[in-house]
Amino acid sequence: MIISEKIDEIRKRENVFSNRDRLEDGKTYIPEFLIEESDIDEIIGVLGGIKPVMQDNCFDKDLDRLKRSLNKLEIIYGLNYTISPYKYLINSPNDFCEVVDIDDNREGMVSFSISFETSLNSRSEEFFLKKSKTWDRADEFSRKFGKVMGYPECCLDFGESLSGNIGNIEAMKESMTWSKAHIRSFRNSKDVSDILNIYTVKPLVSHVPCSLDCKESIDYAKKILRLLSEEDRYYADLRRYFLRLNSLFWFYSEFFLLDGEKERNEVKYSDFHKISFSDDVFYGGLTDDLREKMERTQKMLEKGNRLVMNKNFFKVFDGGKEIGRVEKDYPFENILF
């Protein structure tokens, strides 16, 4: 179970960044809470000057810990931060939010932004709030939010193209186009760059690129990986390991990592690992149909060593012997990266 061990290893290695003695060597120190609950890449990107502002969320019950951690970043680096006065109840696989006042007694997420400019934090929180109140993930505030985050223009255009049902709220809910952005990116790609592998744990880009050969997104990912290498070479090597893995992918919250060799529509694998967190509070629940497919796929992968993707189904083999197949509801229900 190499993949499982590597996942545990990368989580433990991240604790290196919480050692305050790193500051004496000119390295980045990140408070332990932010390592656990936020994104190391985003913080390092802002500190390294390649990202103007970052936005993230934490559970409201951890608000005091968040404030203490952000105060440390402010004192050490001069970073500014803004914490939203609202709470986000994310209750759908589509990431649709119910927005309530922060003193609401229901458990939810609190949004915060970090940058060297207070005005960027304010705009980040304003646009995040406005885009979170709509099912239309191609609306003007999604683009404005992405622009403040520094996403490439071509990827902002891609985001606008995702909703084919503008003005029809029920059709948007039904199509779940935003949750399929990763697969649309795959379909847009003439070529594939592993450094833009968004079908794995801890991808290097926080946005969904317009394609997997997007030059600006590749440049950004390379800069992040370079910064990580300068900070901790071993941690960067672990990240490279996950970039090279294959994936049987449904959603960003539901997929199987495969360690093997891929050729066209087939991968011969020696290890796999299931990633599934749709049933957690933050993302809502899986449908019964998808849960059954995921469970059946896991049992098949345990018995096999080769997966073959087809337009309407995929099969798992043990050598030349077929273990089983899973029918798709539509051709791009899932992909093999």
Could you tell me which residue, 218 or 133, shows the higher pLDDT?
218
Residue 284 in this model has a pLDDT that exceeds 60: no
pTM of the model: 0.89
pLDDT at 283: 47
pLDDT at 92: 47
Task: Using the Cα atoms of residue 287, residue 278, residue 126 and residue 154 in order, give the sign of their dihedral.
Answer: negative
Confidence class of residue 94 from pLDDT cuts 50, 70 and 90?
A: very low
Cβ-contact 290, 254 below 8 angstroms: yes
For residue 334, the 8-state DSSP code is S
Residue 315 in this model has a pLDDT that exceeds 90: yes
Mean pLDDT, the chain, as a whole number?
A: 89
Torsion region of 26: left, alpha or beta (phi above 0 gives left; psi -120 to 50 gives alpha): left
Query: What residue ranges in the chain does DSSP mark as E strands?
Result: 53-59, 80-90, 97-101, 109-115, 246-251, 254-263, 266-276, 306-309, 313-318, 321-327, 335-336
| Mean pLDDT (whole number) for 39-56 | 97
pLDDT at 288: 84
- The torsion angles phi and psi of 219, rounded to 5 degrees, stand at -60, -45
pLDDT at 133: 73
Stretch among 65-69, 120-124, 140-144 having the lowest mean pLDDT: 140-144
**Token digits for 84?**
């939203």
Residue 275 in this model has a pLDDT that exceeds 50: yes
Confidence class of residue 271 from pLDDT cuts 50, 70 and 90?
A: very high
- The torsion angles phi and psi of 282, rounded to 5 degrees, stand at -65, -35
Cβ-contact 10, 235 below 8 angstroms: yes
- The torsion angles phi and psi of 55, rounded to 5 degrees, stand at -130, 140
List b or e across 192-204, with b for residues whose CB sees 16 or more CB atoms inside 10 angstroms.
Answer: ebebbbbbbbbbb
Could you tell me which residue, 262 or 108, shows the higher pLDDT?
262
Residue 11: closest CA among 242, 261, 322: 242
